[in-house]
Amino acid sequence: MERALVERARRGVGPPGADTRDRDAFDALVRSRVDAVYRTSLAILGDPADAADATQETFVSAWCHRDALRDPDLFDAWLWRISLNACRAQLRRRGRTRIREIRLLDPLDDREPASPERSLADRTADSDAFDRAFGGLSVDDRAVLVLHHLQNRPVSEIAAVLGAPEGTVKSRLHRARAALESALARESR
């Protein structure tokens, strides 16, 4: 079913020579992925407005370049590559670094039991330190960490998204973790 949607959005149906790409098929693909693309963009960029811009740019670019997709089975990898490029472009347009704000622990969320020895202030301070450390990473490091740890994607899928060999992705993931650990150590001093 998914492959058929991609095929319809890519090639369309109808008489030869007519521009009959199926916008409904593309709309269905967008609806099924827009939240995930936005969340990933937000995790990488750290700003809701920038994430919304990158998300919109992702789908506009996907629509404009849908003929470039050669293998419909690789639609997700192709879309994620476009999304990461949109995040990079957004960061270039931004021209300066912003402090990211991602709350790891919601003070109003009672699903995770509070530790009596750790106060809310301590947990918030840890969260802020993580946000600053993560925000200091390169977009490539943030992207590989988000794809692997936030979205739980396997290395093979990340390799397809990035268009890189699995060994390269493993190396980038290792480097990104080391960079985050180093940044966290600097934040805790």
Q: Mean pLDDT for each consecutive 10-residue tract of the chain (189 residues)?
A: 81 51 82 92 88 93 87 88 90 62 47 50 64 82 86 86 87 90 80
Where does CATH 1.10.1740.10 sit in the chain? 2-94
Distance between the two ends of the chain, CA-based, in angstroms? 53
Question: pLDDT at position 34, please?
Answer: 93
Give, in degrees to the nearest 5, the angle at Cα 88 between 87 and 92.
Answer: 115
Give, in degrees to the nearest 5, the angle at Cα 150 between 27 and 35.
Answer: 20
Phi, psi of 108 (to 5 degrees): -90, -5
Question: pLDDT at position 151, please?
Answer: 81
Question: pLDDT at position 94, please?
Answer: 73
Where does CATH 1.10.10.10 sit in the chain? 120-188
Give 120-188's CATH code, choosing from 1.10.10.10, 3.40.50.1220, 1.10.510.10, 3.50.50.60. Answer: 1.10.10.10
Question: pLDDT at position 18, please?
Answer: 42
Amino acid (one-letter) located at 10:
R
Question: pLDDT at position 21, please?
Answer: 57
Question: pLDDT at position 107, please?
Answer: 46
Question: pLDDT at position 119, please?
Answer: 56
Question: pLDDT at position 180, please?
Answer: 86
Give the architecture-level CATH label for domain 2-94.
Orthogonal Bundle (1.10)
